[in-house]
Structure 1
């Protein structure tokens, strides 16, 4: 055991992962890259709502928003943040683009996309289990 195993040089950058996903009835070649743990924390915080109920702090996570943000940050191709792609769809912003794309997909296709994103980010658990963990 040596601390040198944990120096920055010992951590490798992850190469993009290609997958073929069916979208809108057609197969599309896509690229993905897992997000960092730090970005994962930011996404979870961004999707939380804190309320107080009878003096107790209650934290709720918007599961749909979390999944959408995870898809946006993990998907490299197509780049959902690309202004030209957004203009082609007649929207502004990655979340609006994703919403428009979802409207052209069946539910199973979107579920497959979110499942692949989950796997690429190293989650062995279902998204529901991850959301429950994020709530705590």
Structure 2
């Protein structure tokens, strides 16, 4: 007899919203994050893929910068990057354009720290830079 009780749908917990203080633009901001599902992660990765063919061989490349932006946007609950009023205050349309506008006011290390927090909340135990280096090798 196989024991599958631990894998019944009711045994899977709901994800919780995590509140963190993050330094952005030189000031500390309270932000809220919610982990994405594995299915959503797959969807985001696929949307950042480019498929090409070289000498008859299929080559799949993932735009890591685009993936980082999408995972930050989908994981961040507050501020809501999809909020039209917030986008308007920055003079942009679209969540990715808002994040890019905010990046202009952030230090590079602040953006990396934001992604590090998002990665940790989503269950990655390695930083994206480590994962990128592993993928290159």
Fold conserved between structures, TM > 0.5? yes
Which residue in the other structure is 2:14 paired with? 13
Distance in 2 (CA, whole Å) between partners of 1:47 and 1:132 is 18
Which residue in the other structure is 1:67 paired with? 68
Distance in 1 (CA, whole Å) between partners of 2:67 and 2:134 is 13
Shift, 1:7, TM fit: 1.4
Matched, 1:87 2:88: yes
Shift, 1:129, TM fit: 4.4
Aligned-residue CA RMSD in angstroms? Answer: 1.7
For these two proteins, the number of residue pairs brought into alignment is 135
Distance in 1 (CA, whole Å) between partners of 2:108 and 2:133 is 22
Which residue in the other structure is 2:24 paired with? 23
Q: How does 1:50-65 map to 2 (within 5 A)?
A: 50-65=51-66
Provide closer, same or farther for how the CA distance between residues 133 and 94 of structure 1 changes in structure 2, counting only shifts above 3 A: farther
Runs ≥4 in structure 1, deviation > 6 angstroms? 132-135
TM-score, with normalisation over the residues of structure 1? 0.93
Shift, 1:58, TM fit: 0.6
TM-score, with normalisation over the residues of structure 2? 0.92
Distance in 1 (CA, whole Å) between partners of 2:135 and 2:32 is 26
Shift, 1:3, TM fit: 1.7
Shift, 1:4, TM fit: 2.4
